[in-house]
A and B are shown apart, each in its own frame.
Chain A
Amino acid sequence: MPTSAPEWNGALLTAAGLGAGYGAIRVLEQVDITVHAGQVAALVGPNGAGKSTLLKALSGMIPKTAGRVTFAGQDITRLTTQACGRLGLVHVIEGHRVLPSLTVEENLLLAALDQPAAARRTRVDEAYEVFPEIGEKRALRAGTLSGGQQQMLVIAQGIVRHPKLLLLDEPSAGLAPVLIDRVLEVVSGFRTRGTAVFLVEQAVEKALRMADRVYALVHGRIVLDTDAQSARQPGVLERAYLGAAHAAS
């Protein structure tokens, strides 16, 4: 059962009035998001709504055109992805983009490039504990893994980086149903370790089951911002989507 974030901790991540896009194309407008420490927040929305763009804007992968982002009380609006990562804001991008010609182990060690060698080792071993099936393949090239294993590898890369908040982009996309559960189980595991997660997920029902907070993004705008219980009520999401579609036309 999700617990609400402790008030004294304040918000871990806040975005206010965020705008972003590619060149002349504006994808996001006036996006407000708050994620509390130790929470799982789910971001849902139809294809092309701008979900991945939002994650990229939050983690500094693409520049923001408007608004402000703070993380752990610090303004990170203009920080690079690396700087965000050092603060504990870690982005696992979509499409299980492992580094195919490097070994599994190298893929993980690289995630801790900024750590001393000993710490690197410990963290990688930690990740193997969470995903034993990855540990078995440590000497193989990442490109030879199956899609599911690659997805576990990129999440393992996230674990190695000891995030305070993990931005997870469609971790279950393209996975067999068994694997989806396995991956989402790991995501819930993050919460138990005190890591907050901001999750973009296609398997909406499953995502809602584990989330504390739900945001729906349609046409680059947040159309729903509610706790997970209300979002699970029948019709709530649909109405949010439809309402936005009508407003646009």
Chain B
Amino acid sequence: MATGLEAIASTELPGVAGRRSRAVLGVAAAVLAAMLLPFTVNHYWMQIGTLAFVYWVLIAGLDLIVGYAGALAVGFVGLLTIGAYTASILCEKAGWPAFAALLAAGTAGALFGFLIGLPSLRLKSFYFAMTTLGFSTIVTQVALGWESLTGGGIGLPGPMFPAPFDSPVGFYYLAFGMALIATYLLRNIAFSNFGRGLVAVRDAEVAAEAVGVPITRLKLMTFTLSGILAGMAGALFAARQTYITPDAFTFDLSVLFFIAVLIGGRGRVVGPMIGTVILTLLPEIAAPLVMWSNFLYAALLLLVVLLVPGGIAEFLERLFGKAVKGGGLEAPVPERLNAVLGEHASPKALTLEGVALHFGGVRALDGVSLTVRPGTVHGLIGPNGSGKTTLLNAASGFYTANAGRIAFGEAALTARSSDERAALGIGRTFQTPRVVGNLSVLENAMLGAYRQFTVHFPAVALGSRRGVKEDAAVRQRAVDALVAVGLRRLAHLRADQLQHTEQRLLEIARCLVMRPSILLLDEPAAGLSHDEIEHLRALIEHIRSLGVAILLVEHHADLVFQVSDEVTVLDVGRVLAHGAPAEVRVNAEVINAYLGT
């Protein structure tokens, strides 16, 4: 993870040291080996090395799309084609210098990467895969058909880079340099809040929305970045081929890129790199089988998916990695919340007025009004199906109310999306915890601060210092939050290794890192033991004391009556009773609807 930050975290968290120095050593060795390659092997193998670097420039970008964002972009060869033709046409027909053409290819790639990104916002899995497949098919057809520009089936020469990059060795180092740059960009995004956001979008889209990840913007920026890389890879590819025809850009190439990411492991950096090397070498090693190489790629894809869905990276980790063990829950330290919440929790009240919401003919909410004031706990109880969770969904923007008004402080919420509401300071947890299973507990907590980063995507990609500093601050805040809820000793586990009840606490920690003005808690006590419920109560009371408003949906009536300042009872989508806990508790209707039967 990001440099220098582990020092802070490791003072309090177990299980961090040692990994970084090993990684640095590995990277240095790989770079040195690549530098020396031209002196140790013949030209033929060096050319293969060049090809692997060119592929990697594209695959590094694709890794963000497939491995991080989880979009099944199987037709990325289309972007390679566009980059190759842009550069070649500019050099050949307009006489541009090769480096200018390289940049132009990147620009064209950015444009088309953005365009491919657009359907990814609406289309899932197969539909998106089919779209990219269609895209790559069409690009090849256009390359073939637009003869006046592309030379059609006859093709045209690729760009010629000036000395010293005109020799095979020089070009090798050019490709190597580009590969290094691509790796740097990939690493910077992958290990930033954007990388975490992408994984969240991939694995737990609802959680991503709940912490305010602006999914549209994030995806489009990622697609644009990978478009740049793919376009530039195209220019390099054309230069290495020296002459391009549409035949050079078969769909199989696309699958090669895709598989390189998959066999490397999704959400990884080094794995796909190894995958690229393997797939570039495969046809060379299996020379007699060269006509079968596409079959082998496909078979490899099938085997990887069926047998090692985690790819090489996970396989190696299982082989060499030490099993990370968690230390179990600790008692929470609510006082640490002062550091987490800071003075940022600006007091705001949440007001619902006559909110109604129906699904088809079913009225889930039928004119509900309630106010949650800052620094108070508002308990919301009611029988199953009375609309409690629906109300939370309406307040946090996962559903849009059909009628009524929802306001937060001065801001009217009704028309805002869930991620905008999160940015305003509405934090929520879910009945079934929504955590990002493939991120560590600490990273999950850090996700909460997504909207508090001020650095932009391009700056982070280029390695901005400010981004690194902000990341460190958020990491520290996340550690504080984990200590506060009692998850300190589990911080380095993957979140899907936690038990349900621990995941609930993690959700609360993630919300606290948001520095929310209001917390919407959906059955936080479900499944907790008696002692754990007491801990939860202390935590809730401390959060309240810091001026945060809390809306507590809970079946555990004792907890609700103990901790709440006011209680609302819902029944079939309407408010049945409202008032101080003591009043509500003795209300006859409530007893009938809720405690009776």
Contact B529 A25 (CB under 8 A): no
Contact across chains for B500 and A249 when beta carbons are under 8 A apart = no
Establish whether residues A249 and B384, one from each chain, have CB atoms under 8 Å apart when the complex forms. no
Q: In angstroms, how far is the closest chain B Cβ from the Cβ of A91?
A: 24
Distance between Cα atoms of A172 and B384 in the complex (Å): 17
A94 to chain B, nearest CB (A): 14
- Please report the C-alpha to C-alpha distance between residue A248 and residue B384 in the assembled complex, in whole angstroms: 23
Q: How far is the CA of A47 from the CA of B531 in the complex (A)?
A: 22
Instruction: For the complex formed, measure the closest distance between the CB of B203 and the CB atoms of chain A, giving whole angstroms.
Output: 15
Residues from chain A with Cβ under 8 Å of B500 in the complex:
25
Q: Count residues of B near A (Cβ-Cβ below 8 Å).
A: 5
Tell me the complex Cα distance, A249–B535, Å. Answer: 13
Most buried by B among A47, A248, A249: A249
Q: In whole angstroms, how far apart are the Cα atoms of A25 and B496 in the complex? A: 12
| Docked-complex contact A47 and B530, CB < 8 angstroms | no
Residues on the A chain within 8 Å of B530, using CB: 249
Q: How large is the interface on A (under 10, 10 to 19, 20 to 34, 35 or more residues)?
A: under 10
C-alpha gap A247/B500 in the complex (Å):
20
Give the nearest-CB partner of B555 in chain A.
A47
- As a 0/1 sequence over residues 215 to 249 of chain A, the CB contacts with chain B under 8 angstroms (1 = contact) are 00000000000000000000000000000000011
State the CA gap A150–B384 with chains docked (Å). Answer: 22
Which B372-394 residues have a C-beta within 8 angstroms of A? Answer: 384
How near does chain B come to A52, taking the closest CB pair, in angstroms? 15
Closest Cβ of chain B to A51, distance in Å, is 15
B520-557 vs A, CB cutoff 8 Å, 1 = contact: the mask equals 00000000011100000000000000000000000000
Q: Which of A1-35 contact B (CB under 8 A)?
A: 25
Query: Given the complex of chains A and B, what is the CA–CA distance between A137 and B106 in angstroms?
Result: 67
Offer 6 A-B interface pairs, CB within 8 angstroms, sorted by A: A25-B500, A47-B384, A248-B529, A249-B529, A249-B530, A249-B531
Q: How far is the CA of A25 from the CA of B499 in the complex (A)?
A: 9
Closest 6 CB pairs of A and B: A249-B530, A249-B529, A47-B384, A248-B529, A25-B500, A249-B531
What is the CA–CA distance of A248 and B529 in the complex, to the nearest angstrom? 7
Query: Bound complex: CA of A25 vs CA of B384, how far in Å?
Result: 22
In chain B, what residue has the closest Cβ to A245? B530
Write out, one digit per residue, whether chain A residues 24-58 have a CB within 8 A of any chain B CB (1) or not (0): 01000000000000000000000100000000000
Residues of B within 8 A of A (CB): 384, 500, 529-531
- Alpha-carbon gap, A249 to B500, bound state (A): 16
CA distance A25 to B530 in the complex (A): 21
Q: Find chain B residues with CB under 8 A from A25 CB.
A: 500
Q: What are the residues of chain B within 8 A of A47 when measuring CB–CB?
A: 384
Contacts of B384 in A (CB 8 A): 47
B392 to A: closest C-beta gap in Å: 19
- State in angstroms the CA–CA spacing of A47 and B530 once bound together: 19
When chains A and B are docked, how far (Å) is the Cα of A248 from the Cα of B531?
11
A100 to chain B, nearest CB (A): 14
Q: Kindly provide the distance from the CB of A219 to the nearest chain B CB, expressed in whole angstroms.
A: 9
Per the bound structure, the CA–CA distance linking A26 and B529 in Å amounts to 17
Q: How distant is A143 from chain B, measured CB to nearest CB, in Å?
A: 14
Q: Please, which residues of chain A bring their CB within 8 A of the CB of B531?
A: 249
- B-side contacts of A248, CB under 8 Å: 529
Report how far A249 CA is from B501 CA in the complex, Å.
14
With both beta carbons as reference points, the residue of chain A lying nearest to B528 in the complex is identified as A249
CA distance A47 to B383 in the complex (A): 11
Chain B residue numbers with a CB within 8 Å of A249 are 529-531
Complex Cα gap A25–B432 (Å): 12
Contact with B along A137-170 (1 / 0, CB 8 A): 0000000000000000000000000000000000
What's the Cα separation between A248 and B530 when bound, in Å? 9
Report the bound CA distance from A248 to B526 in whole Å.
Answer: 13
Q: Which A residues touch B529, using CB under 8 A?
A: 248-249
Chain A nearest CB, measured from B437 CB (Å): 11
B384 (CB) vs chain A CBs: closest residue: A47
Interface residues of A in 183-225 (CB under 8 A from B): none
A18 to chain B, nearest CB (A): 21
CB distance from A125 to the nearest CB of B (A): 35
Q: Looking across the interface, which residue of chain B has its beta carbon closest to that of A47?
A: B384
Task: Name the distance in Å between B162's Cβ and chain A's nearest Cβ.
Answer: 59
- How close is B434's CB to chain A, nearest CB, in angstroms? 15
| Cα A148 to Cα B315 with chains together (Å) | 53
A146 to B500, CA, bound (A): 38
The CA-CA distance from A25 to B529 in the complex, in Å, is: 17
CB proximity of A106 to chain B, nearest CB, Å:
25
Instruction: Give A104 to B1 CA distance when docked, in angstroms.
Output: 61
CB-nearest residue of chain A to B533: A249
Q: From residue A34, how far is it (CB to closest CB) to chain B in Å? A: 30
Query: CA separation between A25 and B500, bound complex, in Å?
Result: 9
Q: When chains A and B are docked, how far (Å) is the Cα of A211 from the Cα of B35?
A: 81
B494 CB to closest chain A CB, in angstroms? 13
Closest to B526 in A: A48
* Bound form: Cα–Cα A25–B433 in Å: 13
Contact residues of A between 47 and 76, Cβ < 8 Å to B? 47
Nearest neighbor of A248 in chain B, beta-carbon distance: B529
Smallest Cβ distance from A205 to chain B, in angstroms? 11
Distance, CA A47 to CA B597, complexed state (A): 13
Which residue on chain A has the smallest CB distance to residue B532?
A: A249
Complex-state Cα separation, A218 to B30, whole angstroms: 58
A80 to chain B, nearest CB (A): 23
A219 and chain B: residue at smallest CB distance? B527
A67 to B: closest C-beta gap in Å: 23
A25→B498 CA distance, assembly (Å): 11
| A47→B384 CA distance, assembly (Å) | 10
Q: How far is the CA of A237 from the CA of B384 in the complex (A)?
A: 22
A249 vs B527: C-alpha distance in the bound complex, in angstroms?
A: 10
- Please report the C-alpha to C-alpha distance between residue A248 and residue B501 in the assembled complex, in whole angstroms: 14
| In the complex, residue of chain B having the shortest beta-carbon distance to the beta carbon of A204 | B597
Measured CA separation A143–B9 after assembly (Å)? 58
- How far, in whole Å, are A152 and B500 apart by their CA atoms in the complex? 37
* Nearest CB in chain B to that of A25: its residue: B500
How many whole Å from B390's CB to the nearest CB in chain A? 18
Task: Give the nearest-CB partner of B496 in chain A.
Answer: A24
User: A246 vs B400: C-alpha distance in the bound complex, in angstroms?
Assistant: 41
Give A249's nearest chain B residue, CB to CB: B530
CA distance A131 to B384 in the complex (A): 31
A103 to B530, CA, bound (A): 51
CA distance A165 to B355 in the complex (A): 48
- CB within 8 Å of B: which of A88-103? none
A249–B528 CA distance with the chains assembled, in angstroms: 8
CB of B464, distance to nearest CB on chain A (Å): 40
Residue of A nearest to B500 (CB): A25
**Chain A minimum-CB-distance residue to B529:** A249
Q: Which residue of B lies closest to A202 (CB)?
A: B597
A43 to chain B, nearest CB (A): 19
Q: What residue in chain B is nearest A246 (Cβ atoms)?
A: B530
